Amino acid sequence: MELKRVVVTGLGAVTPLGNTIPEFWKNIQLGVSGAAPITRFDIDRVKTRVKFACEVRNFDITKFIDRKEARKIDLYAHFAIASAVEAIADSGIDREKENLDRIGVVHGVGMCGVSAFESGIEEMYVEKEQGQDLKVSPFFITGIISNMGAGYISIMNGFRGPSLVTSSACASGANAIIDAVNLIRIGKADVMVCGGSEAAISGSGVCGFSMMRALSTRNDSPETASRPMSGSRDGFVFGEGAGTMVLEEYEHAVARGARIYAEVAGWGMSSDAYHITAPEPEGNGAVSAMSLALQDACMKPEEVDYINMHGTSTPLGDIAECKAIKKVFGEHAYRMSLSSTKSMTGHLLGAAGAVEGIISVLSVFDDVVPPTINHADGDDDENIDYALDFTFNKARQKTVKVAMSNNFGFGGHNACIIFKKFQG
């Protein structure tokens, strides 16, 4: 069976750097940090060494759905819905002219409805202390389950094609895109709305990651805390948000005159099979994912112009990824551009693969390599090869014909997607 080509025709985002694609992409190119003291809840009531995060700000779900409907679902689903609304509008898809049985949704999430679960359990304990019968809100279940983002996007738009959720920690958004690509490739759908969402900046979320010692504790300078590839990095910065892409079968997109951002060239997935949180030290799982993506795209390593690294700013993860890139690309590794945009957005967990996939697509579309911010002269790590071009501190105009997006999650889940300039 000949596989169908897949192109990107719509983009949408809700992020710490802006709640629309234009605002987000502008701030990414400017090297703006989204990190600031936490305002979502009273952080002083939580036992944590971390007081800051990359929060989504100025977000109003009632611009997209009714307030009563919004109460039924968690914030992660709100972000998913809003990013999907923008992406679908951006794509120009006309539901009146489409076969809605051929449009589906795949939207990933890493931690489900953390805030909804937290508030529901807290309510139960209050009732217990007051001697009341224990109960939860009638919306407790719809708030905590992981498929509500995908479900609402499907329901709101009448999309009756395949609809599902992926959950593979920090690779969830990337895996959602890969699943959507495959459904189009094998002819099961003409259009897929796909991406990832996360909203776990809550007392239990921040406390949990802090107790694991996974987060940066640079409370005195939040905006500089995420510093991938720097010697002083001390953990990732917690982020939240959502990213959505509209993917289409090539001939379907051309037939309706769609604007095409890029083509999905290939993908690769692998498992570290090593540890539940730590990366395999030599980056061998990442090597496999990147190599498989190149194979799927029928590309040579030297064809890749830019890699949007997973680059979380953790002591072990950054080293392992750099080792993997050098193994896969050899001498070409020194000619490519690399960057970690988590230095600006923080780590969006289940949304990271989708948001960073969008950045990779826009890099190809606009010929821009975004920066890795927060690196200071002399702040080097002896285990990192600085002959590699990490695009420190300033974006660069450069022809980007091919961009690779890497995402690696707790549990050893590795996902890699390659986007290329569209040519008819």
* Active site residues per annotation: 170, 310, 347
Amino acid at 78: H
Distance CA 175, CA 194 (A): 10
Order of strands, sheet of 402-409, starting from the edge strand that comes earlier in the sequence: 163-164, 103-109, 191-198, 241-249, 6-14, 262-271, 413-420, 402-409, 306-308, 337-339
What would the two tokens of residue 34 be?
A: 């989204």
Asked if 370 and 391 count as a contact pair (C-beta separation under 8 A), the reply is: yes
**Residue 177 contacts by C-beta under 8 Å, 6 or more apart in sequence?**
106, 194, 195, 245, 247, 264, 267, 353, 354, 357, 417
Three-state DSSP class for 166?
coil
**203-211 vs 114-129: helix axis angle to the nearest 10?**
100
Stated length of the chain:
424
What would the two tokens of residue 403 be?
A: 């961009």
**284-297 vs 315-329: helix axis angle to the nearest 10?**
40
For residue 274, the 8-state DSSP code is S
Phi and psi angles of residue 148, each rounded to the nearest 5 degrees, phi first: -70, -30
- CA-nearest of 224, 211, 248, 241 to 99 is 248
- CA-nearest of 72, 45, 50, 56 to 18 is 56
Where would I find the beta strands (DSSP E) of 25-88?
36-37, 52-53
Q: What is the dihedral of CA 78, 79, 85, 87, to 10 degrees?
A: -160
Asked if 80 and 121 count as a contact pair (C-beta separation under 8 A), the reply is: no
Phi and psi angles of residue 390, each rounded to the nearest 5 degrees, phi first: -90, 5
